[in-house]
Amino acid sequence: MRYFDGDYHREDSRLIRSAKSWQLTNSWTTEQDMPSGRFRIIAYSPKKGVEWTHSWQDTEQESLAKMIPKIIETLQASKDNLRRLMIAEDEAEAKRKKEQQEEWERYERREDARKVAQALTDSRQQLAETIEKWGKAMTVERFFSDAEERLGGVDEERRQRLEERLRIARVMMGSVDPLDFIENWQPPDERYRSKYE
């Protein structure tokens, strides 16, 4: 294609051939796909993955009408080969699909094992934190018990004031019952239950 007079034209076109050399000094050539004006028949496999094509081009030397018997003969001769290629592609696709399913199954199992391990780790950590909290709560309970014992040795007015404060402090600290602590703990199978066991 030659750029000439604001547009691209075929190099062998009448316009370009009739142009004077001085008219072409500011033009250039490039390659572009353009319709040839001739018919082409292309036979191909409709099945994805099967690379099979044949094409026949209409030319000045030989028209497509003369090629029809040859086209029919080629297509009939290719039938068995094309069928083999399509069957092979079906088998390869089935194999790929099976491999993908197996890979997905392996991934699911790995992910399941990871979640089981994570649930166990989280459960252990929560249990350790629960025991630590209970240990602190028992220290607080011993503090309150000791304070209540000492209340017996103080005068009435002070004892009433301190009893009220101890009651408020106990309410603020919450329960020290170990069963309350363990009831809030989540064992591993409550966090995540394996699909494969």
36-70 pLDDT, tens digit each: 778 899 999 988 889 999 999 988 888 888 899 99
Quick one: pLDDT band at residue 18, thresholds 50, 70, 90?
confident
Quick one: pLDDT band at residue 96, thresholds 50, 70, 90?
very high
Tell if the pTM clears 0.85, that is, is over it.
Answer: no
The pairing of strands 2-4 and 28-29 is antiparallel
pLDDT given at position 27? 83
Quick one: pLDDT band at residue 100, thresholds 50, 70, 90?
very high
153-189 pLDDT, tens digit each: 888 888 888 888 888 888 887 777 777 778 888 888 8
pLDDT given at position 83? 92
pLDDT reading at 190 higher than 90: no
CA distance 117 to 123: 10
Q: 29: which strand partners?
A: 2
pLDDT given at position 121? 93
Q: 28: which strand partners?
A: 3
HEC string for the chain: CEEECCEEECCCCHHHHHCCHHHHCCCEECCCCCCCCCCEEEEECCCCCCCCEEEEECCCCCCHHHHHHHHHHHHHHHHHHHHHHHHHHHHHHHHHHHHHHHHHHHHHHHHHHHHHHHHHHHHHHHHHHHHHHHHHHHHHHHHHHHHHHHHCCCCHHHHHHHHHHHHHHHHHHCCCCHHHHHHCCCCHHHHCCCCCC
Least confident residue range of 48-52, 83-87, 112-116, 193-197: 193-197
pLDDT reading at 148 higher than 80: yes
104-143 pLDDT, tens digit each: 999 999 999 999 999 999 999 999 998 888 888 888 888 8
pLDDT given at position 110? 95
